[in-house]
Amino acid sequence: MLGGQAACGDVRTVMTELSNVPVTALKGVGEAMAEKLAKVGLETVQDVLFHLPLRYQDRTRVVPIGALRPGQDAVVEGRVIGTDVVMGKRRSLLVRINDGTGGLSLRFYHFSNAQKESLKRGTEVRCYGEARPGASGLEIYHPEYRAITGDEPPPVDTTLTPIYPTTEGLTQQRLRQLSLQSLAMLGPRSLPDWLPRELAKDYQLAPLDEAIRYLHQPPADADVEELALGHHWAQHRLAFEELLTHQLSQQRLRESLRSQRAPALAKAQTLPEQFLRNLGFSPTGAQVRVGNEIAYDLSQPEPMLRLIQGDVGSGKTVVAAMAALQALEAGYQVALMAPTEILAEQHFISFKRWLEPLGLEVAWLAGKLKGKARISALEHIANGAPMVVGTHALFQDQVQFKRLALVIIDEQHRFGVQQRLALRNKGVGGVMCPHQLIMTATPIPRTLAMSAYADLDTSILDELPPGRTPVNTVLVVDTRRFEVIERVRAACAEGRQAYWVCTLIEESEELTCQAAETTFEDLSSALGELRVGLIHGRMKAAEKAEVMALFKAGELQLLIATTVIEVGVDVPNASLMIIENPERLGLSQLHQLRGRVGRGSAVSHCVLLYHPPLSQIGRQRLGIMRETNDGFVIAEKDLELRGPGEMLGTRQTGLLQFKVADLMRDADLLPAVRDAAQALLERWPTHVSPLLDRWLRHGQQYGQV
């Protein structure tokens, strides 16, 4: 514990690959311990070696008590000069030690008589812990300690002490013992390095076994700060391999999809001309550019996999409609899928308005469709309804298409890759793979797109249609709520409409809906002359649709809502949005909500009604919202503040739950990682599967179905 690290017992170096050696081969691991280890993903000796420390403690030197500082973790030695049971708010054992340079107290709230006896006056002890200010000067609460006997004090550790990720019933001491045993079995042959020497040399990467050995046992002179920041060469080596594996997984997915056949759709002539004539406005340059990229992809006999990124209001749906017309003119079916019924219904209304004048029928399928209406819709789709709009209900097995050639998915990050891939089987005759066009109004930073969407081609709509006005965003403390209510009254008196958004309360949808209902009652009372509506997640889909239709038609002037209106709601006359407790939301979500206003020609405003005190990060985040309307700038900041897992949602991220790598910290590695992945696939293809097995065995195998 506090002395030199023990030898590894009688574990012999073996030549078997450690990925095939179960943890039960380690001394002291029986069935019960193996179950505990499995909870943290440790089933083989290789898993133990890749279970790396979170941080380190420096127990390599004894610190004079007189040199101790509050908050410092340290090993100290001293003679016990007094031991007392102290009766305060909680009974404790207080042991005072001195080493000639100063005094220190050790305090134990849980202790036995035997422990008290072992720490009697005159005993020499070595202990480790964090020094904190206490009633009697510096104290260490519940230190690790041992009595020093004999003339020679035991040696200190020669390496930094690792602190591992753990779970209930699995102590640090046990994990350290298992790591030591596993390191004794580690060698270039027992843990093959699947990065070829030539490749490792090109990117200045150390051998794998050296990096792992270093990270489990950093020497006494290791740079602890560099390790804490994740900038050490050993961490760099493992992060590179992990990111490379993720990239290979994506490339393999892309290849498996691209190797399939898809209908080659000739560029449409007639329908797009009619569509644009009826639209009433000309597409932006960005829409034309992206439309041409999609048209080319659709004309190829392999499946299109294209992501359209566009800021709020950049006109993604018009581009999607142009793509749909190319498939429809060629005599095929198109399916458009959205994550919520509100958003799906918005698309259904838009596509009906656009396509029915062209003689094209639009079918509807959602979870709420029951009985005869559902049977009728399923028959209609199976018989070849040209355009089908719906929710995730389109994934279901009983939904059969006749000639599906194009799938359009809105807000991809809400679905997850596995669901998206399930649509492959719904292509023409179950043989042809449909083209896939994915849209998102949540701009994804380039760093994240390079990793999370490496299987997709990306197009960016970076131009807003004419007539869009930037939204003026202000921060207002909630003690000025009365003034904000008067601002709503004035806007509605001028013929405008407004949103009032209630955000999550302690992650509870039920409480949020209750808050929305209370707000509805309060504002209906305060603004008696206005027509006020309410929409939240616990209402039935038909009720939500009815309220949205009334608001869109101008029958309601103020809409109280939860974040269900985050995407897809288009009411050009709405020019004022109030967001309560914006500090509870991510920046991208706030940007989505703000995008519900500014859709007409009137100057629009968004009021962030916050509750003080704001944390420093909270103030920084809301300040970003006030400073910019650029969704890509906001997305970069959101990634910095929240990380990739939260931005994309856990169903989407899969592999983004990295063990070693960190997308923000290691962003500079990504271009080299992409090149290395390509080189490995071309020159060393047999190394790909072992790498995938090593890093992805426990996680979601990204992109495999």
CATH assignment of the domain containing 104: 2.40.50.140
Shared-domain flag, residues 510 and 590: yes
Q: Phi and psi (nearest 5°) for 427?
A: -70, 180
Task: Give the model's pLDDT for residue 12.
Answer: 40
Shared-domain flag, residues 342 and 398: yes
Q: Phi and psi (nearest 5°) for 484?
A: -65, -40
Shared-domain flag, residues 451 and 593: no
Shared-domain flag, residues 71 and 106: yes
Task: Give the model's pLDDT for residue 242.
Answer: 92
The domain tally of the chain equals 3
Residues in the chain: 705
Shared-domain flag, residues 476 and 452: no
Shared-domain flag, residues 498 and 453: no
Task: Give the model's pLDDT for residue 655.
Answer: 37
Q: Exposed, middle or buried: residue 346 (CB in 10 Å: 0-12, 13-18, 19+)?
A: buried
User: Is 27 part of any domain?
Assistant: no
Shared-domain flag, residues 421 and 287: yes
**Which uninterrupted H or E stretch holds 294?**
helix 285-298
End of a domain among 126, 147, 168?
147
Measure CA of the first residue to CA of the last residue in the chain; give whole Å. 46
Can you name the residues that pair with 94 across neighbouring β-strands?
Answer: 84, 107
User: Is 192 part of any domain?
Assistant: no
Please give the Cα distance from 128 to 6 (Å, whole number): 18
Closest Cα to residue 559, out of 542, 574, 538, 543? 574
Please give the Cα distance from 583 to 594 (Å, whole number): 14
What token pair was written down for 349? 């209304």
Q: Which residues constitute the domain of residue 87?
A: 64-147
CB distance 567 to 599 below 8 Å: no
End of a domain among 97, 125, 147?
147
User: Is 291 part of any domain?
Assistant: yes
Closest Cα to residue 592, out of 286, 311, 287, 309? 311
Cα dihedral across residues 156, 158, 164, 169: positive or negative: negative
309, amino acid identity: Q
Please give the Cα distance from 404 to 407 (Å, whole number): 8
CB distance 533 to 547 below 8 Å: yes
Closest Cα to residue 307, out of 413, 175, 398, 447? 413
Closest Cα to residue 492, out of 446, 442, 558? 558
User: Is 567 part of any domain?
Assistant: yes
Please give the Cα distance from 5 to 154 (Å, whole number): 11
Can you name the residues that pair with 95 across neighbouring β-strands?
Answer: 83, 106
Q: How many CB atoms lie within 10 A of CB 6?
A: 10
Shared-domain flag, residues 496 and 365: no
Task: Give the model's pLDDT for residue 154.
Answer: 79
What token pair was written down for 152? 């020679």
User: Is 173 part of any domain?
Assistant: no
Please give the Cα distance from 513 to 429 (Å, whole number): 45
Q: Phi and psi (nearest 5°) for 89?
A: -60, -35
Task: Give the model's pLDDT for residue 513.
Answer: 67
Shared-domain flag, residues 456 and 592: no
Task: Give the model's pLDDT for residue 49.
Answer: 94
Q: What is the largest CA-CA distance in the chain?
A: 98
Shared-domain flag, residues 328 and 410: yes
Please give the Cα distance from 113 to 31 (Å, whole number): 35
Shared-domain flag, residues 284 and 142: no
End of a domain among 124, 147, 170?
147
**Which are the contacts of 100, defined by CB distance < 8 A and separation ≥ 6?**
none
Q: What average pLDDT values come out for the chain (705 residues) when binned by 10 residues?
A: 39 63 91 89 92 89 91 91 88 92 92 89 92 87 87 82 87 91 89 92 93 94 87 93 89 77 90 87 88 94 87 81 94 89 81 92 84 87 90 81 90 58 70 86 65 73 72 91 94 93 67 79 91 85 83 92 70 90 81 82 89 83 85 74 51 55 80 90 91 72 35
Please give the Cα distance from 247 to 448 (Å, whole number): 12
Tell me the pairing of strands 91-98 and 73-87.
antiparallel
Shared-domain flag, residues 520 and 441: no
User: Is 688 part of any domain?
Assistant: no
User: Is 516 part of any domain?
Assistant: yes
Cα dihedral across residues 483, 484, 487, 488: positive or negative: negative
Please give the Cα distance from 307 to 459 (Å, whole number): 6
Task: Give the model's pLDDT for residue 482.
Answer: 93
CB distance 81 to 94 below 8 Å: no
Look up the CATH number of the domain holding residue 562. Answer: 3.40.50.300
User: Is 649 part of any domain?
Assistant: no
